[in-house]
Amino acid sequence: MKNYFLLLLLLFLGFQNAFAQEKERPKIGLVLSGGGAKGLAHIGVLKAIEEAGVKIDFIGGTSMGAIVGGLYASGYNASQIDSIFKVSDFDQLLKDYIPRSSKNFYEKENDEKYALVLPFDKWKVGLPYAYSKGLNIYGLLNKLLHNDRHERNFNELPTPFLCIATDIETGKQIVLDHGYLAQAIMASATFPSLFSPIVIDDKLLIDGGVVNNYPIDEVKKLGADIIIGVDVQSGLKSRQELNNATRILVQISNLQMMDNMEAKKERTDIYIKPDISEYSVISFSDGVEIIKKGEEASFVVYEKIKALGTNYSKPKLGLCEGKMDTLSIAEIQINPLKNYTRAYVIGKLGFRPGIKLTYDELKTGIDNLNATQNFSAIGYSFEKKDQADIFKLNLVENPIKSFLRFGLHYDNLYKSGVLINVNKKKLILKNDVASLDVILGDNIRYNFDYYVDNGFYWSFGFKSQFNSFNKNVVATEQTNSLFGIQGLKSINLDFSDFSNQAYIQTIFKQKFIIRAGVEVKNIKIDSETIDNLNSVFRANNFLSVFGHLKYDSLDNFYFPHEGWQFTGSVQSFLYSSRKEDFTKFTYLKSEFVYALPISNRVTAQAKISGGLAIGEGENPYFDFILGGYGFNKINNFDSFYGYDFLSLYGNSFVKSDLVIDYRFYKKHHLNIGGNFANIGNKLFDSDAWLEKPNFTGYALGYGLETIVGPLEIKHSWSPETKEHYTWFSIGYWF
C-alpha cells in the first residue's frame, strides 16, 4: 500500500512540475514582415527555429509573411512549406492564366492575337483594375488550407494567428484574426495594382504592408512574452539609386515605415534581418537562394533562439489521410446578380450540388467563369453542412463592357502591322459581343465580328473582313498556267479578299462546334508587272453556302504540348458575277492536329490535312495553294516548308507534317519539322494521292513566347528545288 501511495505521490509531483514548467515558459511570438519574393527567407528562419526545438505560440504576418505564417499556423512544418514553394510555378500563380480548355470557341479565336487590353468606357481609355484577380494563388491557398476551411476564429488554429490588411478607402489598418482564413491571407498579400482588392465585411482591402509591415504590437497583444522578428523589407535607397520617378515615389512611401521600424526593432527580442538586398520583390526564380539566406541569418542569432527551446519537435501536418483534395458539395450559394442567371453561373462552373469535387475540378470551374470576362471579382468560401460543404460563391459583375485591344506583328508576307481592336459587349442584345479589328501597316486590313452567344442553343453572328497582301511570285509552269501569262520571270501580285458571312452555330456535347451560313465574297488579283495589258486577272463576286465542324483541345495555339484539333469544312459556290465562265463547284477540306507530350519539355506534333474540289468548272483562284510559313490563313492558302509563298497549286491535295519541339527556360523553343505533300488536279480520281510525296520540305526553328506574341525564326529547304528560305515573324498572327 505504501508503495502505491509513493508512486501516486511521485506522479503527482511530476505532473505538477511539468505544469509549472509549462506555466513558467515564456510565450513566444513570431513576426513575419512582407517583402514579396524576399519573404521566402521566412521559410529558412522557420527551419532554424524548428532545429533549435522552439515552439512558436503566436504568429503575426503581413503580405508574404501572412502567407508563410498562415501555412505554419495551420499546421504545416517548415519542411512542408519549403516543398510547397519549391514546386510552385510563380509565373502561373501571379497571373490569371486561363487555360484554352476554359475558353469557348469565340474566345479562342479572338483572344490569341491581342498583346494589350484596356478598358474603354464613354470614349475614355482607362487602365486595367489590376494585373491579376489573384485567382490562382487563392485557389492554391484554399487547397493547402483544406483542413481549416470551416474554422472562423484564428485563435483556434494549431498556432493562433493574425495578419494585417489595409482599408484602401480609409487608409486604416485592419487586423484579420477571424473569418475565412484563405481570404484573410489573400487580402493581406494583395499587392496594389498586381492583384485586385479583396472585399471583407464590406471593406475594400489591399496589402497590409502599406500601413503595418511588421505587426509586433498586435502579436504582443495576443499574449507573447518574447518576440522573434524576421524583417525582409527593403531599406532606404541611396542618392545614386534614386535615379527615376518610380524609385523616388517608393522611397517617399517607405520613409515613415522605416522610422516606425526603428522603434519596432528595439522592441524585438531576437531580430533577424536576412541579407537579401540583391533580390527584388519578384525574384521568385531565386527562391532556393533566398530561403538559404533566411537560414544563414538565423544562425547568426542561433544561440539566442536555442535558449528558448524545449526540445519541441513540430509534427508533420496530416492531410486528412489523402482526402485533402476532395470536397462534398451539398449546396451552392450565389450572391444575387443583375445580368446573369443562376443557371448561367452553374453552367459555367460545370458542377452541381450533390457531387464530390476535387480542387482541380473547382479550378476548372473558376477558370470557366473567369474566361467569360463578365466578372471583375470572383470569391468563394466553404461552410460546413453536416459532413459536407456549402460552396459560397461571390461574384462582382464587370461594369466595363467595352475594351480597346492592341497587337503588333511582322512576317514575311503581310510585313508590318499594328492591330487596333474595339470590343463591346451588350451592343444590342444582353448576350452579344461586337468586335472590330483595324490593321494598319504595309497591308490595310480589317475584321468585324458580331456574335450572339446563346450557349448550347443555336447562336448566330455576322462576319465581315478585308484581307490583302502583295507578293512577287516566281514564274513557273504552274503560275503561268494559273495567270495565263507567258514569257515573264516573275509576277508581282496584289491580292485582296473582301468577305461577308452570316452564320448560325451550336456546340454539340460541349466538345464540337457546328457552324453553317452563307457568304458573299469578292476576290481581286492584279499586277503592275503587266504594263500593256489589263492588269486585273480576276475581280469576281461569289455567293456560297458553307458548313464547318471543329473540335479543339490544344493547350496552346502556337506551341501546343498536348491535345488535338479537328477541322472539317465544306463550301459550295452557287453564283459568280462572271457568269460566262462560271460553273457551280464545291470544296471539301479537313485538318487533324495531334500534340503528344513525350516528356515535360518535348512534344511531337503531327498534322494531316487534305482537300478536293467537286465540280467541272475552272476555278483556279480557289485552288489549294501551298508555300511559306505561318501566315494568316484565308481561303485555301496553307503553309509548306521548303517552298516560298504561293508556290504550289492544285484543286486537290494531301499533306502531312511532323514537328518535334523542345521547350527550355519555360518560354524558349527549338524545333525541327518536315512536311510532305501530293498536290495537283483531280488527285483523288486515282491512287495518285497515295503515292510517294512529290513535294517535301524541312525546317529548323527557334521560338520565344513574348508579351506581344510568339517570336519565330524558321529556316527551311527542299531537296527537290535545293532552295533555302528563312522566315521571321513576331507577334500574334492577325
Q: Answer yes or no: is pLDDT of 321 > 60.
A: no
How far is C-alpha 26 from the geometric centre of its chain's CA atoms? 48
Mean per-residue pLDDT for 407-411?
93
Phi, psi angles (nearest 5°) of residue 313 = -125, 110
* C-alpha cell at position 60: 503575426
Q: Answer yes or no: is pLDDT of 383 > 80.
A: yes
* Angstrom distance (rounded) from CA 100 to CA 271: 47
Instruction: Convert the pLDDT of each residue in 411-444 to its tens digit.
Output: 988 999 999 999 998 889 888 899 999 999 999 9
Q: Answer yes or no: is pLDDT of 375 > 80.
A: yes
- 408, amino acid identity: L
**Collapsing DSSP states into helix, strand and coil, what is residue 295?**
helix
Quote the pLDDT of residue 566. Answer: 95
Q: Answer yes or no: is pLDDT of 71 > 80.
A: yes
Q: 69, 60 in Cβ contact below 8 A?
A: yes
Q: Chain-wide mean pLDDT for the chain?
A: 86
- 225, amino acid identity: D
Phi, psi angles (nearest 5°) of residue 411 = -150, 175
Q: For the chain, first and last CA: distance in Å?
A: 96
Q: 514, 506 in Cβ contact below 8 A?
A: yes
Quote the pLDDT of residue 531. Answer: 53
Instruction: Convert the pLDDT of each residue in 210-249 to its tens digit.
Output: 899 999 999 999 999 999 999 998 766 677 667 665 556 5
Beta strands in 90-187 (DSSP E): 116-121, 124-125, 161-167, 173-176
The confidence band for 13, taking pLDDT boundaries of 50, 70 and 90, is: very low
Q: 118, 110 in Cβ contact below 8 A?
A: no
Pairing of strands 28-32, 226-230: parallel
* Angstrom distance (rounded) from CA 567 to CA 636: 13
Mean per-residue pLDDT for 103-125?
77
The confidence band for 18, taking pLDDT boundaries of 50, 70 and 90, is: very low
Q: Left, alpha or beta for 244 (phi > 0: left; psi -120 to 50: alpha)? A: beta
**Collapsing DSSP states into helix, strand and coil, what is residue 177?**
coil
Quote the pLDDT of residue 281. Answer: 84
Calculate helix-pair angle for 359-371, 135-144, nearest 10 degrees: 160
* Angstrom distance (rounded) from CA 144 to CA 502: 49
Say which DSSP state 195 is in. Answer: B
Q: Which of 448, 433, 429 is nearest to 401 (CA)?
A: 433
Mean per-residue pLDDT for 633-650?
89
Bigger pLDDT: 400 vs 47: 47
* Angstrom distance (rounded) from CA 534 to CA 398: 55
